[in-house]
Amino acid sequence: NSKVIQTPRYLVKGQGQKAKMRCIPEKGHPVVFWYQQNKNNEFKFLINFQNQEVLQQIDMTEKRFSAECPSNSPCSLEIQSSEAGDSALYLCASSLTGGTTEVFFGKGTRLTVV
């Protein structure tokens, strides 16, 4: 069973509202990922961190999305001004460092923008 904890499981926001979701990675895992899974099952990589530092992020993340992984606090992903197209399952995952390590996923936060 995955030890990556995501909250909340469900989030409903109006267009233009902020939407914030949190993730506690598995203990000891310094690498954290955020993915967006849309209704067509497409996975879109958003951003990842190693400890508190951003490894890579996509353009979408750089504009309306913000994310952080502070030390000793949950990681978070926030959409500054939600749009209908942001409705999706947001998955957080964590792993050890190293190219051959496994990636473990949380259950996700399902965001609905009405």
Partner 1 sequence: GEQVEQRPPHLSVREGDSAVITCTYTDPNSYYFFWYKQEPGASLQLLMKVFSSTEINEGQGFTVLLNKKDKRLSLNLTAAHPGDSAAYFCAVRITGNTRKLIFGLGTTLQVQP
Q: CA 85 → CA 16, 32, 44, 60, 93, distances in Å? A: 12, 24, 13, 12, 22
Residue 64 sits in the site that holds partner 1 (CB under 8 A) = no
3-class secondary structure, 52: coil
3-class secondary structure, 114: coil
Q: Scan residues 75-104 and list those touching partner 1 (CB under 8 A).
A: 91, 93, 95, 97, 99-104
Length of the chain: 114
Residue 31 sits in the site that holds partner 1 (CB under 8 A) = yes
Residue 112 sits in the site that holds partner 1 (CB under 8 A) = no
Near partner 1 by CB under 8 A: residue from 45, 52, 70, 114: 45
Residues 8-27 as x/- pattern, contact with partner 1 by CB under 8 A: --------------------
